[in-house]
Amino acid sequence: MPRLSAGQRHRVSFSLNGRPVAGEAEPRLLLSDFLRGVLGATGTHVGCEHGVCGACTVQIDGVPARACLTLAVQAEGADIRTVEGLAPAPGRLSVLQESFREHHALQCGFCTPGILMSLDAFLRQRPDASEAELRYMLSGHLCRCTGYVPIMRAALAARDRLREEPNA
């Protein structure tokens, strides 16, 4: 049984956006801080640190989850996807990201990475998601700028576009 001691750093490795990564973490280090502080992947934002605001939402093995409620050591061997993995190529945005840009679905942008990771997973799982279902998914995120209306508009537009071109 592996026992990792407090106060010492231990090697943690997983797949980040399709690439193997590794770093050193104390058992108490949160996945959100491991991503940002150890791996330098600062796209994932840290808000409330108790699972309420949704800013730190990433995909763990394909499903959205709070990075602030996950220890880095729990992510050993997992498939982690973050906002850095959404764009298909440098200089190109994903359909969902492009839709956010087009519909002004962000102002300060702090909540955006988490919302994108939730919606990206949900639209993949439920390409025919209704407006009510998308709204329900969005209830796991706080945005203090937009009033959510443009976010919903962007989510619906992205859904429609992805339905027409699922591989876009």
**Interface ranges with other proteins (CB under 8 A):** 1-7, 26-28, 30, 33, 49-51, 54, 57, 60, 63-66, 68-71, 73-74, 76, 118, 122, 136-137, 139-140
Shortest distance, position 162 Cβ to other proteins, whole Å: 19
Question: How is 34-58 classified by DSSP, letter by letter?
Answer: IIIIIS--TTS---SSSSSS-TTEE
Shortest distance, position 83 Cβ to other proteins, whole Å: 14
Which of helix, strand or coil describes residue 137? helix
CB half-sphere exposure, 121, CA atoms < 13 A: 20
In terms of CB distance, is 73 or 106 closer to other proteins? 73
Task: Give the torsion sign (CA, 12, 14, 19, 20).
Answer: positive
In terms of CB distance, is 41 or 71 closer to other proteins? 71
Shortest distance, position 123 Cβ to other proteins, whole Å: 13
In terms of CB distance, is 73 or 154 closer to other proteins? 73
Q: Would you state the structure tokens that stand for residue 85, as one six-digit string?
A: 């993995």
In terms of CB distance, is 69 or 98 closer to other proteins? 69
Alpha carbons 46 and 21: distance in angstroms, whole number: 21
Residue 133: what residue type?
E
Shortest distance, position 165 Cβ to other proteins, whole Å: 26
